């Protein structure tokens, strides 16, 4: 009987670290998609976005607020952009990310768009948990239910 020699395979430890980091991000995006499906189903959203495309292909941070502008969902990748975990942001207003260099005219435009239940797009200066300023490009939309009642706002964000 001929013995088969085991094949030796070695990979640098760093390659496994990269794999695990990418795998972890992919799993978090899957969790985010499940949460977004639950929120949209419960609120009976009438507009459908390709949320997988937004999270995976475009790598957008997704933030959903209720009608009182309190955060009810933030995708896991928000931690990379803001330094805050999604749990730290729940129940808070996105205003907590604004500061002294945030353009007041742009904020006025955003407030007026929200009050009018209109979509908006803007790039503003926000602040990370550590106080560092960063540009944030926001595309936000009001979300209505089957009875045309405003139920949420959804924002697709990216560091600018």
In a domain, 1, yes or no: no
Q: Per residue in 27-65, pLDDT tens?
A: 778 889 899 999 999 999 987 788 888 877 778 999 999
Sign of the four-CA dihedral 26, 21, 79, 121: negative
Report the domain count for the chain. Answer: 1
In a domain? residue 4: no
Asked if the structure places residue 148 within a domain, the reply is: yes
Condensed to tens digits (0 to 9), the pLDDT of residues 128-152 reads 999 999 999 999 999 999 999 999 9
pLDDT at 8 over 60: no
Domain membership of residue 32 (yes or no) is yes
> CATH no. for residue 116?
3.30.450.20
Residue 25: domain span? 13-159
Q: How far is CA 74 from CA 13, 32, 106, in A?
A: 32, 8, 22
Distances (CA, A) of 80 to 47, 61, 74: 28, 9, 12
**Is residue 29 in a domain?**
yes
Site of tokens 């013995």 = 3
């Amino acid at each position: 009987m001929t013995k088969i020699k085991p094949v030796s395979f070695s990979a640098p430890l760093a390659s496994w670290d990269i794999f695990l980091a990418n795998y972890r991000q992919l799993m978090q995006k899957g969790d985010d998609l499940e949460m977004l499906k639950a929120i949209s189903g419960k609120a009976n959203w009438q507009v459908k976005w390709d949320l997988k495309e937004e999270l995976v292909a475009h790598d957008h941070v997704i933030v959903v607020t209720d009608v009182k502008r309190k955060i009810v969902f933030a995708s896991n990748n928000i931690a990379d952009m803001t330094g805050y975990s999604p749990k730290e942001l729940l129940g808070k207003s996105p205003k907590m990310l604004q500061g002294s260099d945030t353009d007041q005219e742009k904020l006025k435009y955003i407030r007026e768009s929200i009050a009018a239940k209109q979509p908006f797009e803007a790039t503003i200066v926000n602040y990370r948990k550590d106080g560092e300023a960063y540009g944030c490009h926001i595309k936000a939309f009001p979300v209505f239910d089957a009875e045309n009642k405003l139920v949420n706002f959804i924002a697709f964000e990216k560091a600018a």
